[in-house]
Amino acid sequence: MEELFSDEYFMQKALQEAEIAYEKDEIPVGAIVVCNNKIIAKSHNLTETLTDVTAHAEMQAITAAANYLGGKYLKECTLYVTLEPCVMCAGALYWSQISRVVIGAADEKRGFKSKMLQLHPKTEIVEGVLANEGKKLLLDFFQQKR
């Protein structure tokens, strides 16, 4: 019988990706995509490394998951992301038709919800999973920058 993991377990894996970003001096956001209880993609912000404003953790994870599955739709997949996706990432998630998005910390200034946007109507959204851990990583990062 296949063991089922919790949202907290998978968000912890996304937080590990955020920590990798932190170590690379990237804004510490991590994302993973899970399908059938298996991690099929993982990533973190790479905007500085790739000098690409679109290289957000979610965009990298969406691309990797689509490549793994051999198709552009992420139906029956869940994205775990340590920070609420921005408008660009929300658009990509919408078009991917991902089934579920689990968000750690809210982004009141740049998150898609602050812009009154929604994901695909069939996408379930879960918020606040290990939010404090993700928020602390971001606060530590930006405090170090100042």
Among 110, 121, 39, 49, CA closest to 80: 39
Catalytic position from the list 17, 26, 58, 84: 58
Question: Residue 6's CB: how many other CB atoms inside 10 A?
Answer: 9
Question: Any catalytic annotation for residue 17?
Answer: no
CA–centroid distance for 71 within its chain? 19
| Alpha-carbon span 70 to 80, nearest angstrom | 20
Question: Residue 24's CB: how many other CB atoms inside 10 A?
Answer: 13
Residues with a catalytic annotation lie at 58
